[in-house]
Structure 1
Amino acid sequence: MAHAAPVPARTTTPATRQPRTPDFFSHRAHNIGRWAGPFAIGLVYGYWAAANRRSGGPITTGNLVFGFVTVIVFTVLMAGVLYLAPRLRRELHAFVWFLFSAAAFGFLYNQSGESVLLTVGLSLAFGVLVGLFCFYWFYTHEDAQGHRVH
């Protein structure tokens, strides 16, 4: 019968070495992805806002321009949040996501023609839920200085 040969024990394992996830993409691909992700989400958001604004009516040039401007503004804001927020403490990090999600939801909901009071109430409720979820996530996955805990 064949037996496996014993594996010699490693005695030179560095204690400070942290496990890393594999990185399959180049630095250039990551730089492109930092804008491609928010842009793809912005395209969906812009189409949704334009569709809400026209309320099932015909697609007009003004509606298309509104949609594309919405895509650009949303993409820049989301990329800014994704760049800025991780550099903040976890409380402010969650607060930035609260502000962004509440404003994005409120703008999208307001395009449907509902009352401003209902829009503000629902967007604040949505923002609070997102902010609480983000705070819980950051609180359980980061230390007080903002470093990820594995």
Structure 2
Amino acid sequence: MAHAAPASRRMTRQRRTPDVFGPRTHAMAKVAVPVVLGLVYGYWAAAIRRDAGPVTGWNLLFGFVTALVFAVLFAAVWRLSPWLGREAHALLWFAFTGCAIGFLYSQTGESVLQSTGVGVGVGVGVFVAMFYRYYTHEDAAGRPLD
């Protein structure tokens, strides 16, 4: 009966998936992802506030300011979160997404309590998903698995 030969330690500790993008692509993504997501979020907020009315200068200003604030906060959360433990990491994403969705929902004219409820509900879902992801990708000491 044949048995599999044991793999060397060097072989098992190598990264399993190759990094297909170079350092320049990663550097561009650190800027492009927050900017693109911010523009989408700002357009979405401005479109909700406009409510099928005409596009005005104030509406454009609102959209660009919203996009700027979202992009800056997203970039800060994205850069800060890897240094935190899994609980704080998931809690930071909970707070960010809960506030972002709650703000978007508040632009529809609903009450503050309903907007808060929707934001907390979405945030709890994000918290559970992020906690599960970070819990399953770390060892018992909190170090990322390779």
* Fold equivalence (TM over 0.5): yes
Q: CA RMSD in A?
A: 2.1
Give the TM-score taking structure 1 as reference length: 0.85
Distance change in 2, residues 1:94/1:85 (3 Å)? same
Give the TM-score taking structure 2 as reference length: 0.87
Q: Which residue identity does 2:91 align to in structure 1?
A: F
Number of residue pairs aligned between Structure 1 and Structure 2: 141
| Alignment match, 1:93 | 89
Paired residues of 1:89 and 1:145 also in contact (CA < 8 A) = no
- Is 1:132 aligned to residue 128 of structure 2? yes
Q: Which residue identity does 1:51 align to in structure 2?
A: A
State which structure, 1 or 2, has the greater radius of gyration over its C-alpha atoms: 1
Q: Which residue identity does 2:123 align to in structure 1?
A: G
| Alignment match, 1:43 | 39
Distance change in 2, residues 1:114/1:12 (3 Å)? closer
Q: Distance in 2 between matches of 1:137 and 1:12?
A: 28
1:62 equivalent among 58, 62, 68: 58
- Per-residue CA distance 1:89-114 (angstroms, 9 max, x = gap): 00000000000000000111111111
Distance change in 2, residues 1:98/1:15 (3 Å)? same
Q: Which runs of 5+ in 1 are unaligned?
A: 1-8
Q: Which runs of 5+ in 2 are unaligned?
A: none
Q: Distance in 1 between matches of 2:79 and 2:95?
A: 15
- Per-residue CA distance 1:62-103 (angstroms, 9 max, x = gap): 100110111111111111111001110000000000000000
Q: Which residue identity does 1:53 align to in structure 2?
A: R
Identity of aligned residues (%): 53
Q: Distance in 2 between matches of 1:25 and 1:72?
A: 27
Q: Distance in 2 between matches of 1:121 and 1:13?
A: 50
For 1:1-150, what aligned pairs fall within 5 Å after superposition?
A: 14=10, 17-150=13-146
Q: Distance in 1 between matches of 2:49 and 2:75?
A: 24
Q: Distance in 1 between matches of 2:96 and 2:131?
A: 14
Q: Distance in 2 between matches of 1:55 and 1:143?
A: 49
